[in-house]
């Protein structure tokens, strides 16, 4: 789980650096990113947080709460996915081959390209330019590589 938390942070840092030379909403649909100009990008975590707040607690989030809750959803999801990866890696060590890059690829395909659109949190993948898919794919490769590096570091200390 620690690896997922660190990987979520690293993914955000990667996206912040990416958005320096490539700013703007047309560059990203990634659900966990930080590009303030890309409101649709931020909407995925905010939509998730808002749905949870309204359905579970009967509370409509304020704009300030949305920002905090969206960030919390990003880190919670990254932590949980990292924990799942770590558990699978313990049972099936072959999933760690490739330094976390295959994991990042599968995470991108299942989360960004499949689950997020199916849940209505983004448009279908066919409605985004290839540059958006590349950005999301590279972001998930960073997540996977950092998750594996952190998992291995923690595992080696045990």
Domain extent listing, the chain: 2-20+33-157
Is the full-model pTM beyond 0.85? no
Which conformational region is residue 100 in: left (phi greater than 0), alpha (psi within -120 to 50 degrees), or beta? left
Residue 142, pLDDT above cutoff 50:
yes
Structure confidence by residue, pLDDT tens digits, 18-45: 877 666 544 344 444 444 334 444 468 8
What's the pLDDT band for 67 if we cut at 50, 70, 90?
confident
Return the higher-pLDDT residue of 33 and 145. Answer: 145
Q: Are 12 and 42 in contact (CB under 8 A)?
A: no
Task: Judge contact between 102 and 65, C-beta under 8 A.
Answer: no
Sign for the CA dihedral angle at 49, 111, 16, 1 comes to: positive
Instruction: Give whole-number Cα distances, 144 to 58, 71, 140, in Å.
Output: 35, 19, 6
Give the separation between CA 22 and CA 26, rounded to whole angstroms: 9
- Tokens at residue 28, please? 């990203």
Q: Which helix (H) or strand (E) holds 155?
A: helix 130-157
Q: Please report the beta strands in the chain, taking only residues with DSSP state E, as ranges in sequence order.
A: none
pLDDT value at residue 157: 84
In this structure, the chain runs to a length of: 158
**What percent of the chain is modeled with pLDDT above 70?**
85
pLDDT digits (tens, 9 = 90+) for 91-139: 999 999 999 999 999 999 999 899 989 988 888 999 989 988 998 999 9
What integer pLDDT is reported at residue 138 of this predicted model? 95
């Amino acid at each position: 789980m620690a690896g997922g938390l660190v990987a979520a942070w690293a993914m955000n840092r990667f996206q912040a650096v990416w958005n320096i030379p490539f700013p703007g909403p047309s560059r990203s649909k990634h659900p966990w990113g930080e590009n303030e100009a890309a409101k649709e990008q931020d909407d995925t975590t905010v939509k998730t947080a808002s749905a949870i707040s309204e359905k579970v607690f009967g509370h409509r989030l304020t704009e300030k709460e949305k920002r905090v809750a969206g960030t919390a959803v990003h880190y919670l999801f990254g932590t949980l996915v990292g924990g799942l990866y770590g558990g699978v890696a313990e049972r099936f060590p072959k999933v760690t081959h490739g330094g976390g890059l295959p994991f990042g690829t599968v995470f991108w395909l299942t989360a960004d390209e499949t689950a997020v659109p199916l849940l209505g949190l983004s448009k279908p993948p066919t409605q985004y330019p290839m540059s958006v898919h590349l950005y999301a794919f590279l972001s998930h490769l960073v997540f996977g590589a950092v998750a594996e590096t952190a998992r291995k570091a923690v595992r080696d200390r045990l």
